[in-house]
Amino acid sequence: MTKWAACLATLLCLGVAIHGSSAKELTLDDIFPTDRIIDVQITVPKRDWDTIRHQSRDFRTALGASRQFKPMESPYTYVEASVSIDGVVFPKVGLRKKGFIGSLSHTRPSLKIKLNHIDKEGGIEGLTNLTLNNNKQDTSLMSQFLGYALFNAIGSPASRCAYAKVTVNGENLGIYAHVETVRKPLLERAFGNSDGPLYEGTVVDFYEGWENSFEHKRGDDTRGRAHINALIDLLADPKVTEADIGELVDLESFYRFWAAESLVGFWDGYSGNKNNFFVYLNPEDNKFYFIPWGMDSIFTKMSKLEFMNDARAPISVKTQGLIAYQLYQFETGRQRYAEALTGILDKHWDSTKLLATLDKTAVRVEPHLVSAQRVIEEEWGRGGNQWGNYNKPTFASELETVRDFIRNRKSDIQAEIADGMPVWRKRPDPPFIIPEDGDFMKRFLDSLEDTLVGAARAGDLEAIKQYIADGADVNALHFEMPLLTWAAMMGQTEAAELLLQHGAEVNGRNKDGNTALHLAMFLGRTETAQLLLKSGADITSKNDDGATPIDTLGVPWEMTKMTAEFMGVELERKEVEAGKAKIREMFSGDTKPKGGTLPNVEDNSTDLWLSEAAFTGDLEALRQALTNGADPNTKDPQSGSTLLATAALMGHTEVVALLLEHGADVNSRSQDGGTALHAAAFLGRTEIVKHLLDKGADTTLRNNMGGTPVEGAELNWLITKGILGMLKLEVDEAAVKAGRIEVVKLLEGQNK
């Protein structure tokens, strides 16, 4: 092709694109179909794409105390891009990342597309902002599609939702939920007007002092903020009535909205978590109307926020939102709620039709999923440790979970409300905040000082007796743990004995499956462990990771120390190790406490000892062990990390070389699917990366989250800091960043 022919071809192609976009005017029906997947192709300079996809939030800033007085500023910035929607091109749009905490991803980020960012006339029937959610918290991909549809079906104002196949610069990112942004078109459709004040609520509620926490989106803010203040004052009045609330909130609409949230198990919505909602002040009647948002976390019986979960809470209603709680305390409120709930169940919860829609939709989206969508991404801390040791849900398994929920939801609720709505008077706490100055753990522990948990931690017997006399439930969970575990963790044997005398369950479990005996043995609390064993503690009970109390005896000191610090427990190494030694003695000889023997402790301890040596870089100890026949491919029984990966992460170059010399598999995988190369690249261990590459390390292997070594080296520093904080690792930030630059060059050079 000649130079001029190439230019002509380019112009013709451009002409087709321009003609295509002008000849076809997209409508809202076009971009929110229910029977097909729209095609969204984004083109953006690589540098800009890398910039926005690595932008992030962290808990401390996202949930900081100052947000009570002003919504937190968004960390996300717009870059210029072009987007094609089903072949219709918008050549200049704004593109940014979106997401609070749970949906954050640097490989498949949720996205906002601002059609009028540059072209002020840009839009589709008045809709100027497009929302593409990555469904990171919903491996089934069904929550948003089915959830918003139900709200719309019952006449509760809600977004429309469709599916989109998204590509960026030719890279397929898989299926996204295309959710209608809450803006003018939705308001016009729902209310016949759009000029009222609109606010978004993100972990906020109508509490005194929180009036400025709601994020203003459109309309007269002065008028809207006055209405928020009036509602706050009203809800704080102990004499408030249902009718009073009805003067400021449209109750018919709210009961319908609230019942639908509870019905679908929306644990992260307004009534479940003071989160993911909009309020619109309708100028026609001067009342607030609620609109759901962020519905990627439904079809769940109990809240996933374990510290808020109470096993006694009803499944038929959620009352974490202050308005919902207040209304539910009135008999008429429970009655009206029940009418709204049963009305939706009878008229709209047709499990046969819902399941048919689910199955049909699953068949439609499944061929377009990328690998990262077929297995849920890692969740830090699940199962009681930082290593993600659990069976991860898949697309197929999560679909079945949703099917079970849909099949059983109606009968489960009907059984609970057969004799009327259950009474539930537990008042919700104000919105959660993280102090922005000082040590969070210290402040948290200080806040426990005058509570029953504080008494159990401190071993204050008189205070414990008084709380019990006042009706305290000794088996209730407090911040995920029973009181007995709080006492056992601190070695408060007399307090533990008192609790047992008053009915504490000796084998009661934390949310992670650990018992008081697990914690007592883990921290070397000998006397407390003896008491628990004499009281019938089960030495064979397993936590969610499958570990028994005896298994915790073999956890290396460094890991013990890190975990204890995370729980706010100060330890002395000599005391802990002496305590663990005494506990081991309890299981030797002829006298053995109730619960059995110490199974396989020697083998387990050997593996843990090897792992600790790799962690600390004890070269001579490892050389001796390997010479004596130790397996160089040993994995830590707690974390599942290989010796090679542990040494690579910690930067022990000579240990890595030694392990490889003795036959360690350079591409062996840890439990998280990562290799030693992943670990070394993550912290910029340049020399180790070079050595691993020389020994044949595979740069293309992906861990269980779908990440390659080079992606680990490019991980946003704020996220890296969060991970390091959870692992309690201190590093030289400048050295790691410099090392990462060199590592990326090395790995990209290998991949060419």
Mean pLDDT of 137-156: 95
Domain final residue pick, 565, 584, 599: 599
Residue 417 lies in a domain: no
The β-bridge relationship of strands 37-43 and 161-168 is parallel
Query: Of 8-22, 181-195, 196-210, 211-225, which gets the smallest average pLDDT?
Result: 8-22
Compute CA distances 477 → 3, 78, 312, 427, 486, whole Å: 75, 44, 10, 16, 10
Both 648 and 729 in a single domain? yes
pLDDT score for 378: 38
Mean pLDDT of 260-280: 96
pLDDT score for 477: 85
pLDDT score for 101: 66
Q: What angle do CA 225, 227, 229 make, to 5 degrees?
A: 70
Domain final residue pick, 599, 625, 656: 599
Both 607 and 653 in a single domain? yes
Residue 406 lies in a domain: no
Domain holding 679, by residue range, is 603-751
Both 619 and 544 in a single domain? no
Residue 2 lies in a domain: no
Model confidence at 433, pLDDT cuts 50, 70, 90, reads confident
Model confidence at 193, pLDDT cuts 50, 70, 90, reads very high
Strands (E), 475-611: 477-478, 481-482
pLDDT digits (tens, 9 = 90+) for 456-499: 999 999 999 999 998 889 998 887 789 999 999 999 999 999 99
CATH number at residue 582: 1.25.40.20
DSSP state string for 529-570: HHHHHHTT--TT---TTS--TGGGGGS-HHHHHHHHHHTT--
Both 630 and 550 in a single domain? no
Both 453 and 321 in a single domain? no
Distance in angstroms (rounded) separating the CA atoms of residues 683 and 702: 17
Return the structure tokens found at 213: 């926490």
Return the structure tokens found at 520: 């007592």
Q: Which of 45-59, 382-396, 666-680 is most confident?
A: 666-680
Both 618 and 577 in a single domain? no
pLDDT score for 561: 76
Instruction: Decide if 259 contacts 344 (C-beta within 8 A).
Output: yes
Residue 674 lies in a domain: yes
pLDDT score for 59: 60
Q: What is the mean pLDDT of the chain?
A: 85
Rounded to 10 degrees, what is the CA torsion of 121, 125, 130, 131? 160
More confident residue, 516 or 595: 516
Instruction: Decide if 434 contacts 59 (C-beta within 8 A).
Output: yes
Both 188 and 272 in a single domain? yes
Both 632 and 551 in a single domain? no
Indicate whether 607 pLDDT > 80.
no
Residue 257 lies in a domain: yes
Both 220 and 316 in a single domain? yes
Model confidence at 310, pLDDT cuts 50, 70, 90, reads low
Model confidence at 722, pLDDT cuts 50, 70, 90, reads low
Both 592 and 607 in a single domain? no
DSSP state string for 696-745: T--TT---TTS--HHHHHT--HHHHHHHHHHHT----HHHHHHHHHHHHH
Residue 629 lies in a domain: yes
**pTM (global) more than 0.75:** no
Indicate whether 656 pLDDT > 80.
yes
Residue 247 lies in a domain: yes
Mean pLDDT of 629-645: 84
Residue 418 lies in a domain: no
What stretch of H or E contains 713?
A: helix 709-713
Both 85 and 197 in a single domain? yes
pLDDT score for 67: 85
Both 663 and 559 in a single domain? no
Model confidence at 54, pLDDT cuts 50, 70, 90, reads confident
pLDDT score for 389: 33
Instruction: Decide if 112 contacts 53 (C-beta within 8 A).
Output: no
pLDDT score for 23: 39
Domain final residue pick, 574, 599, 624: 599
Counting the structural domains of the chain, the total is: 3
Helix, strand, or coil (residue 282): strand
